[in-house]
Copies of this chain bind each other. A is one copy, B any other.
Amino acid sequence: MTSSDLLFDSRPGANPDRSRLRNRKAVLGQINSAGQMGRAAIARSLGLSTQAVSNIIADLEAEGLLIERGAQSAGRGLPAVQYAVNPEGGFALGVEIRPDVLLTSLVDLGGRPRATRRKVLTDLAPDKIVNQVLQLRDQMLRECGVKPDRLLGAGIVMPGPFGATGLSGQASDLPGWQTIDVPALFSEALERAVVVSNDANAAAMAERFGAAQGLTDYAFLYFGAGLGLGLVHHGQLVEGTFGNAGEIGNLPVMTKHGLKPLEQMVSRVSAQSALAAHGPLDIDALDRLCDVADPDLMRWLETACDALGQALGVIENLFDPQTVILGGAMPALILDHLAQGTPLPKLSVSNRPDATLPRLQCGTSGRMTATFGAAALILNRAFTTQTTAL
C-alpha cells in the first residue's frame, strides 16, 4: 500500500482492506490532531488493540508518514514512545482559480505551506489553465526538493455557486467552465486524487491545521470578493446537495438604511466602496488605513461589526458550532478589529456562561487561506474517512 492509496475509497461496505485503510487514517488523524501520541493512547482512543496500532504505526513509519519523537513519561509505568506526523511524508497541491488570477500552493502533511505561486490569467480556457497548473506544480516540487511521488493529490478551489442557481451569473463565474467535469479534468492531467470545492470551504479546512486544530464542529467566515461560509460538522465539510452550502452573502441584515445583503456591509468590496473617496485601494492600502485608524474606515468597521453580529447570531443558532473563525483576503488588522469589535448576540445558543472557546476569532493562515485550504482538502482525506451514508 502506497501513501497515495490513503485517499479516497469510501464505499459503505467494510472488508479487511478498507478496514485497514480506515484504521491507518484514524491513527494518522488522531496523531495529527493531538500533535503526538503513543501507541497505547491511540489504541484506547480508537478502540483498537495496541497490537493493531503497533502494526499500523510500523507501516506508517516505514512509509515515512510518521516519525518517532522519543519516550514521554507520564506517571507510573513504561513511558510511551511518542509518534508525530512527518510533515515530509506527503504533500498536497492547492489550486485556486479566480477569474483574474491563478494561485497555487504546495503544502506539507503538517499543514504548512512550503511554496506558493501567483499567476495573472489572460486565458481562462480549461486546457490552458490545466497546463499552467502542471507547470506551477513542477516548479514548486523542484523548489522544495519534493519527489513527485510524494504528492498525494490536488485540491481545486473555484468560485461558487456551482450549477445553475438563483445566485448564478455573478461576476465571479468562470466563463467556459460551466459544463466541464472539473475533477476529471484535473485528475487525469495530474494523475492524482482531486477534490473540488469553493473558497470558504477550503479556508475552513485550512484551519484544521490552525485555529481549529482538534475541533470537529465550527464555521469559517471567508472574505473573498464577497463573503462565504464554510461549515465543518464532525470534521467533515457540509457542502450541501450541489456543493453550494454556506452562501451567506445574501443574508439580510438590518442597517441604518434598512435591510441589506450581508456582503454589502461586510466584505472587502464593501470596505473599498465605503472608502471610495480615498481612490482605489488594495488590501495593503486598506491595511495602512487601518493602521492609522482612518475615520472613514473606522466608521465602516462599526457598521460591519454590527452586521457581522447579526450574521453570527444566525450561524450560531442554526449550527451551534464550537467557534466561528474569520479569515480570507482582508488585512489581518481589520479582521482583528472585526473579531474584537463584533457584538456577540445575547439571544444565541452559543451565549454560554461556561464557554471555553471564543465565539468569534481570527484564522491563522492569512490572505492565502483558500489556496492553502485547497491543499488541506486533500490532507483531510489522509486523516479522516469520508462517509457516504445511506
Which A residues fall within an 8 A CB radius of B? 11-16, 18-20, 22-23, 26, 29-30, 33, 43, 45-49, 52, 161, 163-167, 214, 216-217, 229, 231, 233-236, 238-248, 250-252, 254, 259, 310, 313-315, 317-322, 345-354, 383-385, 387-390
Q: Is the CB of B165 within 8 A of A241?
A: no
Our pick among B12, B14, B252 for the contact of A254 (Cβ within 8 Å) is B252
Given known A247-B318, A320-B244, contact A166–B52 (CB-CB < 8 A): no
Chain B residues within an 8 Å CB radius of A352? 163-166, 242
Our pick among B166, B241, B388 for the contact of A346 (Cβ within 8 Å) is B166
Given known A52-B15, A167-B348, contact A319–B240 (CB-CB < 8 A): yes
Closest 6 CB pairs of A and B: A240-B320, A166-B351, A11-B47, A13-B46, A14-B19, A13-B48
Residue of B nearest to A239 (CB): B320
22 A-B pairs within 8 Å (CB atoms) are namely A14-B18, A14-B20, A15-B19, A165-B348, A165-B350, A165-B351, A217-B241, A233-B233, A235-B390, A236-B389, A240-B349, A241-B321, A243-B320, A244-B320, A245-B319, A245-B320, A247-B320, A248-B318, A250-B317, A254-B259, A314-B318, A384-B390
Q: Is the CB of B12 within 8 A of A318?
A: no
Chain B residues within an 8 Å CB radius of A247? 317-318, 320, 349
With A166-B351, A238-B238 already in contact, 11 other A-B pairs whose C-beta atoms are closer than 8 Å: A11-B46, A14-B19, A14-B26, A15-B47, A165-B351, A216-B389, A234-B387, A241-B321, A241-B322, A245-B319, A252-B310
Chain B residues within an 8 Å CB radius of A163? 352
Residue of B nearest to A346 (CB): B166
Nearest CB of B to A55, in Å: 12
Q: Is the CB of B389 within 8 A of A349?
A: no
Our pick among B167, B314, B350, B354 for the contact of A349 (Cβ within 8 Å) is B167
Instruction: Among A15, A216, A353, A389, find the residue whose CB has the most chain B CB atoms closer than 10 A.
Output: A389
Nearest CB of B to A68, in Å: 22
Given known A11-B46, A248-B317, A321-B241, contact A234–B390 (CB-CB < 8 A): yes
Chain B residues within an 8 Å CB radius of A388? 234
Nearest CB of B to A116, in Å: 27
Nearest CB of B to A242, in Å: 6
